[in-house]
Amino acid sequence: MDFLTKLFFYALIGTPLILFVPKNIKSYLNFFINFFIAVVTTCMVVIVFKEGPINYFLIDLSIIGTVHLKIDELSSIFILVINFTVITSSMYSVGYLKDRGNAGALSLHLFSFSLLHASMLLVCMSQDLLAFIVFWEIMSLCSFVQVIFESENPVNIKAALNYFIQMHINVVMLMIAVVWLYNKTGMQNFEALHFYFSSNPNFPLFLIFFVSFGMKAGFIPLHTWLPHADPAAPCPSAGLMSGAMIKLGIYGILRILTYVETDLLEIGIFIYVISMLTGLYGIIQAAIQKDIKKMLAYSSIENIGIIGMGVGLGVLGIAQKSQLITFMGFAGALMHVINHSLFKSLLFYTAGSVYIQTGTRQIDRLGGLMKRMPVTGVLFLIGSLAICGLPPFNGFVSEFLIYSGMMGLLHAEFSMDILELAALISLVLIGGMAIFAFTRAFGIMFLGTPRSEEAANATEVNTYMNIPNIIIVAAILAIGFAPGFFVKFISGAVSLYMPFEPSGIVIHQFDSISKVGLVSILFVIMMITIYVIRTLKVKSNSEVYGPTWGCGYTGSSDKLQYTGASYAGNFIHLIKPIVKVKTEFVNFEEKDLFPKSRPLSTESDDPIETKGIFSVVKKLTQSLSYFAKIQDGQTQHYILYAFLFITIMLLMTVFDVFTHI
């Protein structure tokens, strides 16, 4: 273990080399360093699964003192998620960043990328809360550098500053929780939570931690940084941030829950309800976006909601003393952490390939890409099917676990049945709207005819950029075909929340999950058989190519196709009370026999951001403007302020105010 730990820190020492090597090999060196770190820390995880948790102590690290690093079953899962996503992201970056940015910007970007990898791993390992905050802050700063890479765009700068401010609010909330804990226990490590929760109400302190970690994860209404930061960051970084970094908010919540002892019912209901709202709100917003990266960002919020529903279900299982519900809830949540990291990074990478070849992220300016970028199209389609939770892909496995746990929670008591029914309806709606959103995105981007010259001239990206995507697809199918193996793999982490041996009911679920994989395999075999029979049947017939069937009339203009707004028109009408879509268009009048062309544009707002965050910021700015009047530049006024301050201090001394304070 000492040898592996030394190798890990030696690799960290080598990361500054990225700043000095020639530009054409920076991305390759970045991949090598991250691959080396991933291999070393994965070896540590293998030791954990063979021999149990491992510990390492860094002695006298500056003001922090002794830093205790520990890897257990829970942190191991997140370390593997981080490593796999970083490897695919850095591999994809080699092609994506080849001709982007100058040498200085690229150096800083890739250097911070490696530090981001290391800091995320150290967050998962740290057992001391002060060191945890330091690593958490390094992670936030490095991800800020990722967001601001294309700094020539003022929109990206605004998104990066928004992210920077909110992440520091996040750190402040984390520090408040740590100070509270230290004040009550005199300790500043995670073990202090055991002593605090055993003798104090659990929900208040948990709530402070949840606000901090929930902001990083993207729970509403703490999500407003995510739809701006992901579109601003380069696609490899967006895939890493959405696929792995935001999961550390989930890690923080899960880590705190390992120490919670009371208020389990209240905590479970709170997580359950906020997660339902997060999932529904995220997918509603995703379904109306025109920017593919912004759509994927909101989809990440939706999936955080699904993960949170699994966590809430697991906590309710503990409160109900139900092994089955506890296991299904936490297993479903952890499996969805893994699954989302796979299909979301795949979708961001394929969206990046489209952006590289067309120069646009606007869905309505694409179209017909399936003929021009067939490999990217198939990969995006697989990611879309997986994120919609359809078999035989991995998203179905985690949602099946959560569904099964929900069914187990029914018939507990009337109030819980009402909550469970609402959760089931929410998860069904989320799944249905996800299919709608990704059908819209894939159909408009890859089917039909090109809507712009950029789309018409697009070509497939080089094979090297598709290698990481193919690796991800292999992992997606592996989980879909062998879910029982992966559920058993995470069962060690789930056992942290089950202070009892798995019963026959839980063991029986492994068999049910394995049967899901068997059905998936049979389904794929059936589809391949049908395809082969069809191919042989039509082989003798000559192929004729023509325009797409258009109900008896085929127009030549690409404007006759569905746009994103027209495809979602009925959906937007149904959700008007929840979201606001602005439409700018001058209607035709009866007298306009030969109307002139006129523009049509639609823009959607995030009401939580515009009516909530922005209104608060506006009022705060207005209140601060009153203080600006004090700074009028008049010297005599500044002398008067100093005189008044001295007078107040003298009066407080005379009346002995300081002694009473």
What's the confidence (pLDDT) of residue 334? 96
Q: Kindly report, residue by residue over 356-390, the tens digit of the pLDDT.
A: 999 899 998 898 899 999 999 999 999 999 999 88
Percentage of the chain surpassing pLDDT 70?
89
pLDDT in tens, 264-310: 999 999 999 999 999 999 999 999 888 999 999 999 999 999 999 99
For 520-555, the pLDDT digits (tens) are: 888 889 989 998 888 888 777 776 766 666 665 555
Name residue 605's beta-bridge partners: 580
Higher pLDDT, 58 or 75: 75
In this predicted model, which residue has the larger pLDDT, 570 or 338?
338
| pLDDT at 502 (0 to 100) | 55
pLDDT at residue 189 in the model: 87
pLDDT higher than 60, residue 61: no
Q: What tokens appear for 540 in the block?
A: 């003798």
Task: Give how far Cα 467 sits from Cα of 375, 428, 622, Å.
Answer: 11, 34, 52
Window from 43-52, 335-344, 406-415, 503-512 with minimum mean pLDDT: 503-512
84: Cβ contacts below 8 Å, ≥ 6 apart:
38, 341, 342, 475
Confidence at residue 601, expressed as pLDDT on a 0 to 100 scale: 73
Report the candidate in 228, 278, 241 with the shortest Cα–Cα distance to residue 605: 228
Q: What was the pLDDT predicted at 74?
A: 94
In DSSP notation, 338-356 reads HHHHHHHHHHHHHHHHHHH
pLDDT grade for 626, boundaries at 50, 70 and 90: low
Q: How many residues can be counted in the chain?
A: 661
pLDDT band with cut points at 50, 70 and 90 for residue 196: very high
pLDDT exceeds cutoff 80 at 506:
no
**The pLDDT of residue 513:** 80
Residue 183 has pLDDT above 60, yes or no: yes
Q: Which residues pair with 602 in a beta bridge?
A: 583
* pLDDT score, position 98: 82
DSSP β-ladder status, 601-605 and 580-584: antiparallel
Which residues lie closer than 8 Å to 323 by C-beta, 6 or more apart?
Answer: 317, 498, 500, 502, 503, 505, 506
pLDDT at 661 over 90: no
Tokens found for residue 165? 């401010």
Distance CA 644, CA 652 (A): 12
Quote the Cα angle for 519-524-528, to 5°: 150
Reported as a pLDDT band with limits 50, 70 and 90, residue 42 is very high
Q: Report whether pLDDT(330) > 80.
A: yes
pLDDT digits (tens, 9 = 90+) for 433-482: 999 999 999 999 998 888 888 888 999 998 889 999 999 999 999 999 99
**CA 216, CA 222: separation in Å to the nearest integer?**
8
Q: pLDDT tens, 105-124? A: 899 999 999 999 999 999 99
Q: What is the pLDDT of residues 63-92, one digit of tens each?
A: 556 788 899 999 999 999 999 999 999 999
Range in 6-10, 492-496, 579-583 with the lowest mean pLDDT: 579-583
Is the predicted pLDDT of residue 408 greater than 80, yes or no? no
pLDDT at 387: 94
Q: Output the six-digit token pair for 485.
A: 């193996």
The answer on pLDDT for 210 being more than 90 is yes
CA distances from 113 to 94, 448, 563 (A): 13, 38, 36
Q: Per-residue pLDDT for 130 more than 70?
A: yes
Three-state SS for 365-404 is HCCCHHHHCHHHHHHHHHHHHHHCCCCCCHHHHHHHHHHH
